[in-house]
Each structure stands twice: as structure tokens, then as C-alpha cells.
Chains A and B, each alone.
Chain A
């Protein structure tokens, strides 16, 4: 089945140790999003790619970076994780012209 796959599902890192989360999709959607969701809060949009065009939300910290080497893959890099970065990170895709998002299962990050 076509789907959005996130890896790893669970990531434990130490304070300040860089982390990379990955997202892959077989839907051939040209838009990919990264959200951060903390407990009992709304998913917060960090950034998105429209094809290769990167769009950063104004309030996304510089500590968060993203790469999209091709249509299928997108990465979230957290350069120096702090305790406040512990959250579920959700990847979602969208076909241009459509409004519905397809989510991956999420990557839960724990920072020690």
C-alpha cells in the first residue's frame, strides 16, 4: 500500500546530541510537511517543501533544519536538542491541488 513511513518510531537522545528523523513516501506527493506535537497540544507546523522549494514557518527555531534530497524522502535535523524539543514529530504529505494531508505514524523523540 502507498503510505508515509517515518523512522525511527522512537528516538532517545542526549541533550545537545544531534538527531535526524526521516520520512519517506510512495504517494508521489509533491508537498511534504513536518509538524511538532507536544502532549495535549495542536500539531505545530515547522516547515514544508513544495517540490524542492523550502518554506520555513516564522517561529521555527534555527535548531531545526530540513532536507529533501528527492520527491520520496524528507529529513528533519535537530542540531542541538534541548529538553523542550521532546515531542512527537509528524510527517505529512499532500498532493498539489488537493487539501487532504496523509500522515506518517510519527517519531517520538525523548531528550535526556
Chain B
């Protein structure tokens, strides 16, 4: 079982819609979870991190963590074409999933 698993997509949503990205992890003892955005040919950049169960909101982005079910998700509200990228989930800060490729269509 991979340490971090994500649906590779691609996920396509229309502009203005909510994009929902999911990630599951295998180590029940994991304490920290991160979402990075990676544009094609570029390096990852941090969007959000979450340590506690529940929701954490930052602008149009909401991270959701459920430790009992071992999943973490990222919601992007009012999706914009500029949000089109690959979104990487990271657990324990250094272990990455393969990423979900998101396309937001105008």
C-alpha cells in the first residue's frame, strides 16, 4: 500500500464551480498534512497545511481532515482557470502523493 494515494484525474470542472480533491494515507500516526500546487514544469508551492481534525479555510481554499478515516481533502471554491494545475497531497511534510491534475474550463 502506498503511503499517500490520490486520484490522478484528470479532474475537470467549469469556471466558478467547486473542485474537490481527495487524498488517503496509510500511516495512522501521521500528524501533519499539506496541499501543494504544481504548475506544469514548475516546482510545488504550498497552498495549505492542516494538523487537526475538521476544516481549515483560507480564502477560496478549504482543507478537510478526517483522521479516523485517514483522508484529507481540498476544496477550491469559485474555481478559476488559473487554478488549473496538479495538486499534490503530502503527509508528514515530505511524502507526496502522485497528484491530481485539475483543469478549470472557462
Contact = CB atoms under 8 A, between A and B. Distances in A.
Q: Which range contains the number of A residues in contact with the other chain?
A: 10 to 19
Q: Which range contains the number of B residues in contact with the other chain?
A: 20 to 34
Interface string A85-112: 0001010001000011101111010000
A58 to B, nearest CB: 13
Contacts of A106: 42-43
Nearest to A105: B43
Interface stretch (B14-22, B58-66, B68-76, B94-102): B94-102
B49 to A, nearest CB: 7
Contact of A42 (B42, B46, B97): B97
Given A40-B8, A42-B4, A42-B88, A103 B97 contact: no
B78 interface: no
A43 interface: yes
A105 B42 contact: yes
B34 interface: yes
A106 B39 CA distance: 12
Interface of A: 33, 40-43, 45, 48, 88, 90, 94, 99-101, 103-106, 108
Given A43-B88, A90-B44, A103-B45, 20 more contacts: A33-B94, A41-B98, A42-B4, A42-B88, A42-B96, A42-B98, A43-B44, A43-B96, A88-B41, A94-B93, A99-B92, A100-B34, A100-B93, A101-B44, A101-B90, A101-B93, A103-B44, A104-B43, A105-B42, A108-B41
